Amino acid sequence: MASRRRFLKIMGSTAIIAAAGAGGFALTRTPTDAVAPWKRAGGPEYAEPRMRALSYAVLAPNPHNRQPWQVDLSEPDVATLYCDLDRLLPETDPFERQIVIGLGCFLELARMAAAEDGRALTVEPFPDGAPDQNLDTRPIARMKFGAPGSATPDPLFAQVLVRRSLKEPYDTTQKVSESSLSTIAAVVPESVKVEFTIDPTRREELRELSWAAHKIEVTTHRTNMESVDLMRIGKSEINANPDGIDIGGSAFLDAAALVGIISRQELADPTSSGFQIGLDMYQEMMFTAMAHLWLSTDGNRRVDQLNAGAAWIRTNMKATELSIGIHPLSQALQEYEEMEPLYKEVHTKLAAPGHRIQMLGRLGYGPTIPGGPRWPIETRVL
Ligand SMILES: Cc1cc2nc3c(=O)[nH]c(=O)nc-3n(C[C@H](O)[C@H](O)[C@H](O)COP(=O)(O)O)c2cc1C
């Protein structure tokens, strides 16, 4: 959710301020139902060990907040993870690479949550074989819950409720130190390669590259529309569909929606002021990156993607522990025709030949923001 401060600065429109201050306009616009899973995770209603762990796993980062996870609990002590094939991103993620990374984040959070209860989670990836070009109805993973006392807690789990993808401008007066980045990198398992830079020249190159990639995504009609169609604008849309790209949560954003400055129609039209506001916001974010970090694998097997997801959530949680914000910038990594030149450029710059960059993020110090919308776990059980 974008902050009130930023929107005041960018929009500053009298129409919005008038609408926001109008009688009857709720003082708080927090989409309470949509964010309830952050409060309910691990609570007394989830006494069953699998549900308890999975109530945390739904808080995992995932592309466009599609939350493509579904679980089958019919086998005792086992949760089998499936991908909901109605929750894919065919334009920007044509091979579901990012969707699988998100499922990898989910599995790692489930593992940490089970360990917090003293239960070891044995994860068998793709028990019926891994899909190739595109996902199918076969399971993503089988999770077997061990007996109490079979695991010890993971200290990173302390960050589960405060972890965010921090999509805000960062403080350019506060540097991210090399030692902080090394501390973050140390939580990445060996199956995934982690690298980072704070070098000003490289940082500038990556700022430019991620900005150029963002512009390609939003000015390519079909990829932009994939996002626009997933936008939930204002409190009631967010509560009705707690997934996708939420725009709201403050009187100012909801008021902007009310007066029509933010609407799906505006955001679909590159000549509109709403579209320009979105561009300005992203430009500010890209150019306040204080460091970049990326994860790569020596191939692009489905299991590499799951491993990259586990690595990403761990990276995100360690950064949170150090009060450092992190924001995935996936555009240049996406596999579609218009992005090809930047895809090649980013791989030439950052990865060894044949290696695949699975995640790229910017880091810096930023504001504290609330948790994003989620469907509760009980709605994801098959
Ligand atoms: C594989 C993957 C790719 C992502 N790519 C982007 C991205 O390009 N831009 C962005 O703003 N967020 C990106 N995100 C972050 C998601 O939008 C975010 O996780 C989701 O909205 C839920 O928010 P939260 O992480 O703050 O809970 C990505 C997350 C994952 C797991």
Task: Give Rg (Cα) of the chain.
Answer: 20
Task: Give tens-digit pLDDT for 125-177.
Answer: 999 999 999 999 999 999 999 999 999 999 999 999 999 999 999 999 999 99
Instruction: Please tell me the distance between residue 360's alpha carbon and the centre of ligand 1 in angstroms.
Output: 11
Would you state the pLDDT for residue 23?
Answer: 41
**Cα–Cα distance measured from residue 131 to residue 128, given in angstroms and rounded to the nearest whole number:** 9
Task: Give tens-digit pLDDT for 218-231.
Answer: 999 999 999 999 99
Reported as a pLDDT band with limits 50, 70 and 90, residue 274 is confident
**Ligand 1 atom closest to the CA of 309, numbered from 1:** 31
Instruction: Please tell me the distance between residue 64's alpha carbon and the centre of ligand 1 in angstroms.
Output: 6
Q: pTM, whole model, 2 decimals?
A: 0.94
Domains of the chain listed by start with CATH number: 33-160 (3.40.109.10), 163-232+262-364 (3.40.109.10)
Instruction: Please tell me the distance between residue 204's alpha carbon and the centre of ligand 1 in angstroms.
Output: 22
Task: Give tens-digit pLDDT for 101-126.
Answer: 999 999 999 999 999 999 999 999 99
Q: Whose CA is nearest to atom 20 of ligand 1?
A: 65
At residue 11, does pLDDT exceed 80? no
At residue 2, does pLDDT exceed 70? no
Q: Whose CA is nearest to atom 2 of ligand 1?
A: 63
Beta-bridge mates of residue 325: 364
Q: Among 3, 162, 165, which is best to mutate for testing ligand 1, by the most ligand atoms less than 8 A from CB?
A: 165
Would you state the pLDDT for residue 252?
Answer: 66
Would you state the pLDDT for residue 29?
Answer: 72
Would you state the pLDDT for residue 173?
Answer: 98
At residue 3, does pLDDT exceed 80? no
At residue 339, does pLDDT exceed 60? yes
**Cα–Cα distance measured from residue 119 to residue 110, given in angstroms and rounded to the nearest whole number:** 11
Instruction: Please tell me the distance between residue 164's alpha carbon and the centre of ligand 1 in angstroms.
Output: 9
Instruction: Please tell me the distance between residue 98's alpha carbon and the centre of ligand 1 in angstroms.
Output: 10
Q: Among 330, 356, 360, 363, which is best to mutate for testing ligand 1, by the most ligand atoms less than 8 A from CB?
A: 330
Contact between 306 and 100 (Cβ < 8 Å): yes
Would you state the pLDDT for residue 28?
Answer: 58
* Mean pLDDT in residue range 240-250: 87
At residue 294, does pLDDT exceed 50? yes
Stretch among 27-36, 60-69, 83-92, 331-340 having the lowest mean pLDDT: 27-36
**Cα–Cα distance measured from residue 51 to residue 59, given in angstroms and rounded to the nearest whole number:** 13
Q: How many CB atoms lie within 10 A of CB 51?
A: 17
323 burial via Cβ count (<10 Å: 0-12, 13-18, 19+): exposed
Instruction: Please tell me the distance between residue 4's alpha carbon and the centre of ligand 1 in angstroms.
Output: 21
Instruction: Please tell me the distance between residue 63's alpha carbon and the centre of ligand 1 in angstroms.
Output: 5
At residue 278, does pLDDT exceed 90? no
* Mean pLDDT in residue range 346-369: 97
Would you state the pLDDT for residue 265?
Answer: 87
Nearest by Cα to 373 from 253, 246, 250, 268? 246
Instruction: Please tell me the distance between residue 24's alpha carbon and the centre of ligand 1 in angstroms.
Output: 34
At residue 8, does pLDDT exceed 50? no
Q: Whose CA is nearest to atom 3 of ligand 1?
A: 63
Q: CB within 8 A of 73, min separation 6: which ones? A: 50, 51, 79, 381, 382
Please write down the HEC assignment for all residues of 152-216: CCCHHHHHCCCCCCCCCCCCCCCCCCHHHHHHHHCCCCCCCEEEEECCHHHHHHHHHHHHHHHHH
The pair of structure tokens assigned to 282 is 């992203």
Please write down the HEC assignment for all residues of the chain: CCCHHHHHHHHCCHHHHHHHHCCCCCCCCCCHHHHHHHHHCCCCCCCCHHHHHHHHHCCCCCHHHCCCEEEECCCCCEEEEEECCCCCCCCCCCCCHHHHHHHHHHHHHHHHHHHHCCEEEEEEECCCCCCCCCCCCCCCEEEEEEEECCCCCCHHHHHCCCCCCCCCCCCCCCCCCHHHHHHHHCCCCCCCEEEEECCHHHHHHHHHHHHHHHHHHHHCHHHHHHHHCCEEECHHHHHHCCCCEEECCCHHHHHHHHCCCCCHHHHCCCCCHHHHHHHHHHHHHHCCCCEEEEEEECCCCHHHHHHHHHHHHHHHHHHHHCCCEEEECCHHHCCCHHHHHHHHHHHHHHCCCCCEEEEEEEEECCCCCCCCCCCCHHHHEC
**Ligand 1 atom closest to the CA of 369, numbered from 1:** 26
**Ligand 1 atom closest to the CA of 329, numbered from 1:** 8
What backbone phi and psi angles, to 5 degrees, belong to 123? -105, 120
Beta-bridge mates of residue 247: 233
Task: Provide residues with CB under 6 Å of ligand 1.
Answer: 61-65, 98, 101-102, 105, 164-165, 167, 327-331, 372
Which is more confidently placed, 256 or 209?
Answer: 209
